[in-house]
Amino acid sequence: MHPEIHEQIDAIAADHLSGATDITRRAAGVLASLPVYSDTMSAGDFRAELTEVARELAAAQPSMTSLFTLVNQVLLAAEEEEEFGRLMTAVEHTAKDFGEELTNRLNQIAQTALPLIHDGATIMTISSSSTVLAALERAQEADKRFRVICLESRPQREGIDFAKQVAELEIDVTLVVDAGMAHFMDGVNTVLFGADTISPRGLVNKIGTYALALTADAHGVPAYGLAGTEKFLPASLLDRFEIEQQDLREVLDEPVHPRLDVVNVYFDLTPLHFVAGVVTEHDVLAPADVEERLRTIEIHPTLLVG
């Protein structure tokens, strides 16, 4: 693997602030540039290199299903080509098209979510999601007036930057700590959050999303996950999915006692029955419809083996 490709994959693996859409767009750029950096001389060697890069990209952020989907689509496209030049072209174009389609899907999801954001409403969200931001911007463009309550999202507090981005759209926004979600839920009309994965087990997003969905449910407030279908993870890949332990020093600088254990994970799993719907680029799916949609996804054999 070319050092430049390896360096870009390492940078993706180290990025714990950007949302899944932004990270996947960068990963698409890595795959699109692989034919440029590759020094292979045959279709067989290039296919082997592609498989290595695809696996490392998928493993770079194992909780982000959109990376699985990206490499899956590129591998499936490569499978259709035998001639060396056509194979490299297929990889480049499929990856580029995937990255460009992510932007189109943002706009489509924002349009699908528009009826969920009512004039005069208060919206609560958590963490930082380019998909949620696009939905808020689209509602603002439609001359809807609403306010946003943004949870800061510990431990890295990326919700702060998100709140600033919302304010820059000329939308009134209040930033509160995660533990304040129940206190501030009175008066909230709708909860919107992004998702890194939609699976038969539930919706994976930044930790605190499960608590937010439970709080919304207790207050009778509908909560919606916004996610393109590239984030749908079929049952056949569930054993490859994991929520990783992160740097413990983000929670506690130094261990203070041998009996004190520290756990730091960035994501949690929200059962779909606590979600009013999943907003995709096509429609709003009820939880019962998600599993049916998941069964239609074709998976390349490379991603089904350890």
| pLDDT tens column, 40-74 | 999 999 999 999 999 999 889 887 788 889 999 99
Query: What is the assigned CATH class of domain 3-108?
Result: mainly alpha
pLDDT at 306 over 60: no
Q: What is the pTM of this model?
A: 0.83
> Given its phi and psi angles, is residue 115 left (phi above 0), alpha (psi -120 to 50 degrees) or beta?
alpha
Under DSSP, is residue 75 helix (H, G, I), strand (E, B) or coil? helix
- Give first-to-last CA distance, the chain, whole Å: 20
Which residue stretches of the chain are H helix? 3-14, 20-37, 43-60, 65-79, 84-113, 130-141, 158-168, 209-218, 287-294
* Range among 12-16, 112-116, 250-254, 267-271 with highest mean pLDDT value: 112-116
Q: Is 38 left (phi over 0), alpha (psi -120 to 50) or beta?
A: beta
Going by C-beta distance under 8 Å and a sequence separation of 6 or more, which residues neighbour residue 40? 46, 48, 49
177 burial type by CB count under 10 A (0-12 exposed, 13-18 middle, 19+ buried): middle
Fold adopted by 109-294: Rossmann fold (3.40.50)
Q: Note the pLDDT tens digit of each residue in 70-107.
A: 999 999 999 888 999 999 999 999 999 999 998 899 99
Mean pLDDT score, 157-162: 95
Domain segments of the chain as ranges: 3-108, 109-294
What is the reported pLDDT for 240? 62
Name the average pLDDT for the chain.
91
Q: What is the predicted pLDDT for the residue at 241?
A: 65
String of DSSP letters for 194-242:
E-SEEETTEEEEETTHHHHHHHHHHTT--EEEE--GGGB--GGGGGG--
* pLDDT tier at 138, thresholds 50, 70, 90: very high
Spatial distance between the Cα atoms of 304 and 306, rounded to a whole number of angstroms = 7
* pLDDT on residue 226: 97
